[in-house]
């Protein structure tokens, strides 16, 4: 493969943002038809490099050669014309338009007078989607689709451009295990057609499953490009972080503490929908010092379950929730907070961060009553309160007054967990807490959870990555379409067993 002329040749690209060098003389050759993985921690420059390659960033030093010719993309349209398509991590789709309309957005097919030829677009879209084994109807609105299907619509869009090069920026970060498997099949099929793929990820299992070659970036510099067959995950991880990561050994105390939270026959109706229940007859018990995992595919009701326990669900749940033996019914998150339940929600950008506020203000938002005297916030008390978790969780920030958006994803997440720890919860609910967090920060979060449950906290955690649940949890409750399909202890749980339960369709009502 290395003998052939490179299809894409990236020559000493440097990209400076004011005050920082995001890319520092990076050179990569990509052979035609290969799947080239680009890995690195958050902030390593992976996304910046891809943006240079697909025309999003037009002013950089260095050159890009495509098929031996130097190219200058002034914008994404130029790059698309040259056959380079990109699937962004945050999908670029218009929710209010149909799948077909999205695929042909900006290149609509028309009849003679400029009228839209919807039928032709729908037919072509249907054909593209079929090739991707996507069961989406071209007329469906994109906002009604699941994330995995939305992503396939993006891929279909890139295919409709006849892209010879496809850049995928952490495509599995929001997918469930089945969707990931389907994506991998799609990728294999694309490779069969000779599409060259640049695959950005920091998940070792994916990279080693898919890639021909692996390029490692760190702090904007090229570390190395390796042949997959001549390296292993441990070595690549080492190159990524520049240090060895101790295999996460969160043992969990698994001490049989007293029951802190008990849920009996919890059901959450879904008004006006064929599937009547978002959750049906969920039972669970959480002990002090225990980590309980909730596993399930996307749409299984993981997030909904946590929302119910926090009083944040749009509909009122049915059933009984006992907190330390006393029955509770939270009408508003404020009530749950007061009773000692805290929720770190799933989507950090949408449900975690106040982008306009600084780090300190973000941390104290859940506990203003404690830093305020008669409605007046005492800056001194607020500072003292915020410093506690910032130091305890080792949040790397320029200070309490720094904007929260200046922090890396992992540190933002730690600041938000700090916000909830300040409420001194008895039960901590973590909804996919390591999503979009880099490897090093993940390990820190694991350690943190371990410490917290040693201190007697009960933790319920969900994750879109099964191995994570397997290392963290004392017990794992598996949901499928809102129904509990099984509960596994640490000894019983395997990836295989969980997937079985997660796909075991409960009897249709």
Q: Residues in the site for other proteins, rule: CB under 8 A?
A: 17-22, 42-43, 45, 47-48, 51, 89, 220, 310, 312, 332-334, 337-338, 343, 345, 350-358, 361, 365-366, 368-369, 372, 375-377, 379, 398-403, 405-406, 408-409, 419
Helix ranges, 297-438 (H): 302-309, 333-339, 348-351, 359-364, 368-371, 379-392, 409-421
Give 81 or 368: the residue with its C-beta nearer to other proteins: 368
Give 34 or 382: the residue with its C-beta nearer to other proteins: 382
Give 319 or 333: the residue with its C-beta nearer to other proteins: 333
Tell the smallest beta-carbon distance from residue 403 to other proteins (Å).
Answer: 6
- If phi > 0 it is left, if psi is from -120 to 50 it is alpha, else beta; for residue 219 that is left
Distance CA 9, CA 81 (A): 18
Tell the smallest beta-carbon distance from residue 335 to other proteins (Å).
Answer: 8
What's the token pair of residue 111? 């009849």
Residues facing 344 on adjacent strands? 430
Give 233 or 401: the residue with its C-beta nearer to other proteins: 401
Tell the smallest beta-carbon distance from residue 114 to other proteins (Å).
Answer: 32
Tell the smallest beta-carbon distance from residue 62 to other proteins (Å).
Answer: 16
Tell the smallest beta-carbon distance from residue 64 to other proteins (Å).
Answer: 19
Give 296 or 409: the residue with its C-beta nearer to other proteins: 409
Give 136 or 416: the residue with its C-beta nearer to other proteins: 416
What's the token pair of residue 192? 């069969």
Q: How far lies 46's CA from each of 222, 237, 285, 396, in Å?
A: 10, 15, 42, 22
Distance CA 379, CA 372 (A): 9
Which of 33, 41, 50, 151 is closest to 92 using CA atoms? 151
Tell the smallest beta-carbon distance from residue 402 to other proteins (Å).
Answer: 5
Give 138 or 220: the residue with its C-beta nearer to other proteins: 220
Task: Say if CB 445 and CB 245 are below 8 A apart.
Answer: no
Tell the smallest beta-carbon distance from residue 432 to other proteins (Å).
Answer: 15
**DSSP symbols for 274-288:** SS-EEEEEEEEEEET
């Amino acid at each position: 493969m290395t003998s052939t002329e490179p299809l894409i040749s990236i020559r000493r690209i440097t990209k400076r943002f004011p005050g920082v060098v995001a890319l520092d003389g990076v050179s990569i050759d990509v052979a035609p038809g290969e799947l080239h993985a680009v890995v690195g921690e958050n902030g390593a420059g992976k996304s910046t490099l891809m943006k240079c390659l697909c025309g999003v960033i037009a002013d950089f030093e260095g050159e890009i050669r495509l098929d031996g010719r130097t190219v200058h993309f002034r914008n994404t349209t130029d790059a698309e014309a040259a056959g380079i398509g990109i699937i962004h991590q945050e999908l670029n789709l218009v929710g209010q338009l149909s799948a077909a309309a999205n695929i042909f957005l900006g290149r609509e097919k028309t009849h003679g007078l400029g009228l839209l030829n919807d039928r032709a677009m729908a037919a072509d879209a249907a054909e593209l989607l079929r090739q991707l084994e996507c069961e989406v109807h071209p007329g469906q609105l994109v906002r009604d689709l699941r994330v995995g299907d939305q992503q396939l619509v993006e891929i279909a869009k890139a295919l409709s451009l006849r892209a010879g090069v496809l850049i995928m920026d952490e495509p599995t970060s929001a997918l469930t295990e089945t969707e990931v498997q389907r994506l991998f099949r799609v990728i294999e099929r694309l490779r069969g057609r000779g599409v060259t793929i640049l695959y950005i990820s920091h998940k070792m299992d994916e990279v080693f499953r898919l890639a021909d070659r692996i390029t490692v970036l760190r702090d904007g510099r090229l570390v190395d490009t390796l042949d997959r067959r001549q390296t292993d995950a441990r070595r690549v991880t080492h190159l990524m972080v520049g240090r060895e990561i101790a295999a996460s050994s969160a043992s969990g105390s698994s001490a049989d503490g007293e029951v802190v939270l008990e849920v009996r026959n919890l059901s959450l109706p879904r008004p006006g929908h064929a599937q009547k229940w978002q959750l049906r007859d969920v039972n669970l018990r959480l002990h002090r010092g225990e980590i309980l995992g909730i596993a399930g595919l996307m749409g299984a009701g993981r997030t909904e379950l946590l929302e119910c326990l926090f009083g944040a669900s749009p509909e009122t749940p049915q059933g009984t929730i006992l907190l330390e033996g006393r029955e509770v019914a939270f009408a508003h998150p404020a009530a749950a907070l007061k009773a000692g339940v805290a929720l770190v929600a799933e989507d950090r950008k949408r449900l975690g961060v106040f982008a306009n506020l600084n780090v300190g203000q973000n941390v104290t938002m859940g506990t203003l009553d404690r830093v305020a005297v008669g409605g007046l916030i005492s800056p001194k008390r607020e500072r003292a309160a915020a410093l506690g978790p910032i130091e305890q969780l080792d949040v790397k920030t320029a200070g309490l007054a720094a904007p929260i958006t200046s922090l890396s994803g992992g540190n933002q997440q730690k600041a938000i967990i700090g916000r909830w720890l300040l409420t001194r919860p008895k039960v901590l609910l973590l909804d996919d807490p390591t999503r979009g967090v880099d490897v090093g920060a993940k390990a820190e979060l694991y350690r943190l959870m371990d410490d917290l449950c040693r201190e007697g906290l009960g933790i319920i955690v969900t994750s879109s990555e099964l191995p994570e649940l397997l290392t963290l949890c004392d017990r794992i409750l598996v949901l499928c379409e809102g129904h509990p399909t099984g509960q596994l202890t640490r000894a019983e749980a395997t990836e295989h067993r969980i997937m079985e339960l997660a796909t075991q369709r409960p009897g249709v009502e």
